[in-house]
Amino acid sequence: GESVGLHLPTLSVQEGDNSIINCAYSNSASDYFIWYKQESGKGPQFIIDIRSNMDKRQGQRVTVLLNKTVKHLSLQIAATQPGDSAVYFCAETGSNDYKLSFGAGTTVTVRA
Amino acid sequence: DTGVSQDPRHKITKRGQNVTFRCDPISEHNRLYWYRQTLGQGPEFLTYFQNEAQLEKSRLLSDRFSAERPKGSFSTLEIQRTEQGDSAMYLCASSLDSTVEFFGPGTRLTVL
């Protein structure tokens, strides 16, 4: 079946640098995308979302970019901090509006 | 803290025993979801309620699994005759219609 996946399982970044986490999806009917952050022992925490009628959305220190032509989603984190160390998942709802499909995640480690 | 609570946070049981988990969603949220997450993977959709109606069940949800949301508020997930393969984190999420799904902290199940 169609699914959402991430390009790299791990990312190591120097504190203060910008991070870019990538995600490829295969379901062309995907309409809504969410980035979640999951710290050890906790449930996924919402970071930012974007609908398919947009190509960019900004939040506090985070930006999501959507390229529907190549079915690619990215999360940019500005001035990465130690508290940003976590596993990051992209998720999409496909052709329905409730069932999230998650990729395997990218583990981000921030070096001091 | 997202406002979604789950109980218990951890459960250790012996193979063949029955277990029941509870989820209390954010109070005004009409949608409630159950997901399962195994180590190193993203959450996988199990089932979805809109108010008290269970509208979809994943193929992952075998006959040993049952979920209820009797009054459209809290929900329970029961696993009968547990197997070692049931060991996972069970996540509950809630949303108001088709908005962002907010996740609880999860119940970690270990089947010995």
Contacts of B21 in chain A (CB under 8 A): none
Confidence of residue A95 (pLDDT cuts 50, 70, 90): low
Residue B18: which of B77, B74, B106 has the closest Cα?
B77
Given an 8 Å threshold on Cβ–Cβ distance, is B91 in contact with A43?
Answer: yes
Of B31, B41, B105, the CB nearest to A43: B105
Size of the A and B interface in Cβ pairs below 8 Å: 57
Look at residue B106 in the predicted model and tell me its pLDDT. Answer: 97
Confidence of residue A2 (pLDDT cuts 50, 70, 90): very low
Shortest Cα distance, chain B CAs vs residue A84, angstroms: 17
Q: What is the DSSP string of B49-75?
A: EETTEEEEE-TTS-TTEEEE-TTSS-E
Nearest chain B Cα to A93, which residue? B98
Kindly state the average pLDDT of the residues B108-112: 98
Distance CA B7, CA B88 (A): 15
Given an 8 Å threshold on Cβ–Cβ distance, is B91 in contact with A44?
Answer: yes
Is the model more confident about A94 or about A108?
Answer: A108
Look at residue A104 in the predicted model and tell me its pLDDT. Answer: 76
Confidence of residue A3 (pLDDT cuts 50, 70, 90): very low
The reply to whether B101 touches chain A by the CB within 8 Å rule is yes
Look at residue A1 in the predicted model and tell me its pLDDT. Answer: 31
Kindly state the average pLDDT of the residues A63-76: 94
Is the model more confident about A82 or about B100?
Answer: A82
Given an 8 Å threshold on Cβ–Cβ distance, is B98 in contact with A32?
Answer: yes
Contacts of A102 in chain B (CB under 8 A): 42-44
Distance CA B108, CA B112 (A): 13
B82 touches B111 (CB < 8 A): yes
Structure tokens at B3: 């406002």
Given an 8 Å threshold on Cβ–Cβ distance, is A102 in contact with B31?
Answer: no
The reply to whether B31 touches chain A by the CB within 8 Å rule is yes
Contacts of B54 in chain A (CB under 8 A): none
Instruction: Determine the residue type at A84.
Output: D
